[in-house]
Amino acid sequence: MAPADPGAASEGEAVLRTYGPYGGRFVAETLVPALDELERAVATVLPSEAYRRELDRLLRDYVGRPTPLTDAARLARAIDPEGSQIERLLLKREDLAHTGAHKINNALGQVLLARAMGKARIIAETGAGQHGVATATAAALLGLPCDVYQGAIDVERQAPNVARMRLLGARVIPVESGSRTLKDAMNEALRDWVTNVATTYYCVGSAAGPRPYPALVAELQRVIGDEARAQCVAGPGLPDAVVACVGGGSNAIGIFRAFLERDPGVALFGVEAAGLGLDTDRHAATLTLGRRGVLHGALSYVLCDDAGQIQEAHSVSAGLDYPGVGPEHAHLKDTGRAAYLTATDAEALAAVRLVARTEGLLIALETAHAFAAIPAIAAREAGRLGRPARLLVCLSGRGDKDLATLMAHLDAEGAS
């Protein structure tokens, strides 16, 4: 059964959605009662007046919502000097939310839910560290202990966020198995949850995993799109296209949600990590080159071999270094409602520099993949429309966490 209009369903109804053939639950029997318990909580707690009042208050007074729209005029001129393809380039500034990325919207909502469920401990997985920081922040605010699993490679390349998590009181647990990145961190978090399911809440960071997590995360992140759409309507008008990076897919589905059914003329673009190139085995372009398979409890597109074994992904950005994608994105790809492009490591690094030097914004390497695709999307949309396009980009996070990686690449290139 295809999903109902995301704009029409309540939070409680959202947990029962499927996405075409995608989603579902492929988990150990020991987790089924916990997922059933979570579905009941989503159906009863999330719509309650007390929960909504508390979450809305914290999003406003603690997170700093609504985040603004920024008109990136200098960046638009740098990409399109003649002004023939870009009319306006608007940035939804999730980097200005507390903790520096969109992840806090979801983490705060889930930890509030965990407290209402009477859970005594929070666990999470993280890649780039932003979800880990957001979960550690929410747990500290609400007085709950927190353990965060992070691949050992990501612990090294995301040292600032590791320090932030530890300062916030979370225990960061490096994962040495497998590729030592996000996939393996999620594996370990699931193993922990199986062992401690009665007392522990697993705060999933992306719109992936077994039902009800994809719908729950999407509902908590849709504030991005709801705000952005209202801001556009009140100002420059609806965008012609919305652009976001896609790893697991939470920032993208969050901004897409407001436009999916309500505005069929608004094009939706997700941008995956092409890593070292689509002609190599060093990429994370799941929707572009993957196939249907099961990963972390859900059916979606995955990177796997002919025998169905999950392959290692690669991206210069730790948050996109994942061989799967949320099931709603798989459905949007198949139906054609959203288009999915790619950007290489080199293109993302170049985008970071361009945005910094034209707009004074240091963007996350994950976010940079969306910016790297703007020239191709602008050309495509101008051709479709017969006029310059209005583009809305989700600036999902700031790049302070990536400084070591960025400087290493700049030094290697001999750049200043």
| Catalytic residue numbers, as ranges | 103, 125, 396
Return all residues near 229 (Cβ < 8 A) that are at least 6 apart: 238, 258, 259, 262, 263
Q: For residue 249, what is the DSSP state?
A: -
Cite the beta strand spans of 185-240 per DSSP E. Answer: 200-203
Burial 68-78 (b: 16+ CB within 10 A, else e): ebbebeebbee
Closest CA to 323 of 308, 300, 298, 302: 302
CA max distance for the chain: 61
The dihedrals phi and psi of 165, each to the nearest 5 degrees, come to -60, -45
Which residues touch 180 (CB under 8 Å, ≥6 apart)? Answer: 151, 152, 153, 154, 174
User: If you write DSSP's letter for every residue of 117-165 in order, what string do you get?
Assistant: TT--EEEEEESSSHHHHHHHHHHHHHT--EEEEEEHHHHHHTHHHHHHH
Give the residue from 124, 268, 295 showing the smallest Cα distance to 209. Answer: 295
CA 182 – CA 185 distance, rounded (Å):
5
Sign of CA dihedral 20, 244, 128, 94: negative
Closest-CA residue to 272 (of 247, 250, 236) = 247
Write the Ramachandran bin of 169: left for phi over 0, alpha for psi from -120 to 50, otherwise beta: left
Q: Where are the alpha helices (DSSP H) in 26-127?
A: 32-44, 49-58, 73-79, 103-116
Taking Cα atoms as reference points, which of 207, 160, 150, 148 lies closest to residue 181?
150
Token digits of residue 33: 């009662």
Q: Which two tokens stand for residue 364?
A: 């996350």
Residues linked to residue 106 through DSSP beta bridges, in sequence order:
none
Q: For residues 35 and 210, is the Cβ–Cβ distance under 8 A?
A: yes
